Structure 1
Amino acid sequence: MDAFKKLEKVGEGTYGKVYRAIEKATGKTVALKKTRLHEDDEGVPPTTLREVSILRMLSRDPHVVRLLDVKQAQNKEGKTVLYLVFEYMDTDLKKFIKSHCHTGENILAKTVKSLMYQLCKGVAFCHAHGVLHRDLKPHNLLMDRQTMSLKIADLGLARAFTLPIKKYTHEILTLWYRAPEVLLGATHYSTAVDVWSVGCIFAELVTTHALFPGDSELQQLLHIFRLLGTPNEKVWPGVSSLVNWHEYPQWSPLSLSSAVPKLDKDGVDLLSQMLQYDPSKRISAKKAMEHPYFDELDKSNL
């Protein structure tokens, strides 16, 4: 690792620490992700190899953070350490939203539109290549403040979802962005879980506040039900046979625009299609890109 000069730790990723570093030969700033390899492993664990191969494949898209290189090193105890070298992005969507939240200023409508389009485009690319992110949230959407470009990061939890859909553990998504089918214990789920997260992020960009800020799985569901109405077999066939389904308080749906008063009619329509209860009725990321909400957006530079 002599090729790099570590500057500071910038965070903890799914599999290890992340540092900002300078590549000595080029002077380029990069993000180094140091992956924890399990103590008893001979060589590199399959989870890491899987992440690396998925990232290599997805790195081709401008809205996925670029994996530049992979370096293997020995630590002091003689254990193998893997460093993933990523392009460095100077902020993330969580910090960007927070900075507006502090000043009380709304994020410009055209900025919201551009960021949303880039997010849909990146998610559509992942889905087209058989990859679910499963943990989309503002914190792992990286941004460049100069160009306002957005890139999806931390695909560490991504699983290539080849058919048949395997049973996934549902203890993974951050609660606020977690789709109702996951909260209700569905063991088989699809690309629609990411689209729900995208919808929650959309609303948060508009209001600078989380749409459903639950602090437990039950609270999370109740937040959703209060706004969208308590689901039933009519709006979501099969919902009452999900593992975690109970008799919940009965709420009628509120108008979605009441939650995002600053969003225009097309935006509210797109948001409502992203927040459909029935996963099979939820709009796909690819279809979302064609929604009239994005008609006025100059897509030439995206």
Structure 2
Amino acid sequence: MESTKTAMEAFEKLEKVGEGTYGKVYRARERATGRIIALKKTKLHEDDEGVPPTTLREISILRMLSRDPHVVNNQIEMPLTKSNRLLDVKQGVNKDGKTVLYLVFEYMETDLKKFIRSFRQTGENIQPNVVKCLMYQLCKGVAFCHAHGVLHRDLKPHNLLMDKKTLILKIADLGLARAFTLPIKKYTHEILTLWYRAPEVLLGATHYSTAVDMWSVGCIFAELVTKTALFAGDSELQQLLHIFRLLGTPNEEIWPGVSKLKDWHEYPQWKPKPISTCVPNLDEDGLNLLSQMLEYEPSKRISAKKAMEHPYFDDLDKTHL
């Protein structure tokens, strides 16, 4: 890893494009090539001996996911992983004497949240073939992560980067990702984004797996079609009630073991409605796939790999996806 001086000589910061728990993200230019990149600056705690395990975990996951073979499409080299590539890591010391890491990523001009918002503002719908193209890439990226033992755990439109011209979509922000082993470790659920959070997590399940990502994928699918979040709760209880109102209140018959989950209570009883009532612009194959992503019982929820084989995608040209 190089010094901060070398890192800052190598890149010219252009603008801050984001800030979160893990640090600031800048759009920057690589001086040697003129290439635009995303620079993620992460401070390391002074009392840590070396790089904190959480940062090492993120870097190792990103490096592993960036090693996949590449395909070339429209002169853009892109990994089959559909995850935002980690190009380089640089380490140094800031003016306060604290260790700083710079993670260098490929730069994507927008994200799915902004893309959806732009259609909401114009009042237009996102074309069905565009929804299909983006969803296939999302399933492919999630399938790749899962095949390599990685859960994302925070999939949401904001974390899906894309190029509007080519419609290339890539999964970003694997900062919360966990490599999972069998048996599945216990995970805390506070960090997951509420609107895309799976019901088992909302109900306090501590052992969960790839199905949590697929619930999020389903919520994103519906949002691409309607331009509105499917379940927009402002608390964990409200989030559950939004889900129950559409899909029906679960019980032991529908979802064996649900009443044994830590945060289960007696809830108002709703009967399930057809998903088409909330997602009216989706065709029959799309509704079938969405319903399989929003299965209550995690073991019955469709996997990302199986989702890619669903008839909904049969008429999509997958040559460059």
TM-score w.r.t. structure 1 length? 0.99
Q: Could you tell me how far apart the structure 1 residues matched to 2:148 and 2:55 are?
A: 19
Structure 2 SS opposite 1:21: strand
Structure 1 SS opposite 2:279: coil
Q: Which of the residues 144, 163, 166 maps onto 2:163?
A: 144
TM-score w.r.t. structure 2 length? 0.93
Q: Could you tell me how far apart the structure 1 residues matched to 2:294 and 2:19 are?
A: 30
Q: Could you tell me how far apart the structure 1 residues matched to 2:30 and 2:49 are?
A: 29
Residue 216 of structure 2 corresponds to residue 197 of structure 1: yes
Q: Kindly provide the CA deviation profile for residues 85-111 of structure 1, in whole angstroms up to 9, marking residues without a partner as x.
A: 000000000000000011111000000
Residue 66 of structure 2 corresponds to residue 39 of structure 1: no
Deviation larger for 42-51 or 226-235: 42-51
Residue 109 of structure 2 corresponds to residue 90 of structure 1: yes
Partner residue in 1 for 2:27: 20
Deviation larger for 13-22 or 247-256: 13-22
- Per the TM alignment, residue 164 of structure 1 is displaced from its structure 2 partner at its CA by 1.7
Partner residue in 2 for 1:56: 63
Q: Could you tell me how far apart the structure 1 residues matched to 2:20 and 2:139 are?
A: 23
Partner residue in 2 for 1:260: 279
Segments of 4+ moved more than 3 angstroms: none
Partner residue in 2 for 1:172: 191
Residue 238 of structure 2 corresponds to residue 219 of structure 1: yes
Q: Kindly provide the CA deviation profile for residues 37-81 of structure 1, in whole angstroms up to 9, marking residues without a partner as x.
A: 113112211110110010001123431001000011110122210
1:20–1:29 CA contact under 8 A, matched in 2: yes
User: How many equivalent pairs are there?
Assistant: 302
Residue 93 of structure 2 corresponds to residue 67 of structure 1: no
Measured on the aligned residues, the alpha-carbon RMSD in Å equals 0.7
Q: Could you tell me how far apart the structure 2 residues matched to 1:36 and 1:194 are?
A: 28
2:45–2:98 CA contact under 8 A, matched in 1: no
Q: Could you tell me how far apart the structure 2 residues matched to 1:207 and 1:82 are?
A: 39
Q: Identity across aligned pairs (percent)?
A: 81
Partner residue in 1 for 2:17: 10
Structure 1 SS opposite 2:9: coil
Structure 2 SS opposite 1:2: helix
Q: Which of the residues 148, 152, 165 maps onto 1:133?
A: 152
Q: Where in structure 2 are the equivalents of 1:242-257 lying within 5 Å?
A: 242-257=261-276
2:43–2:98 CA contact under 8 A, matched in 1: no
- Per the TM alignment, residue 13 of structure 1 is displaced from its structure 2 partner at its CA by 4.0
- Per the TM alignment, residue 14 of structure 1 is displaced from its structure 2 partner at its CA by 4.2
- Per the TM alignment, residue 165 of structure 1 is displaced from its structure 2 partner at its CA by 1.0
Q: Could you tell me how far apart the structure 1 residues matched to 2:45 and 2:245 are?
A: 43
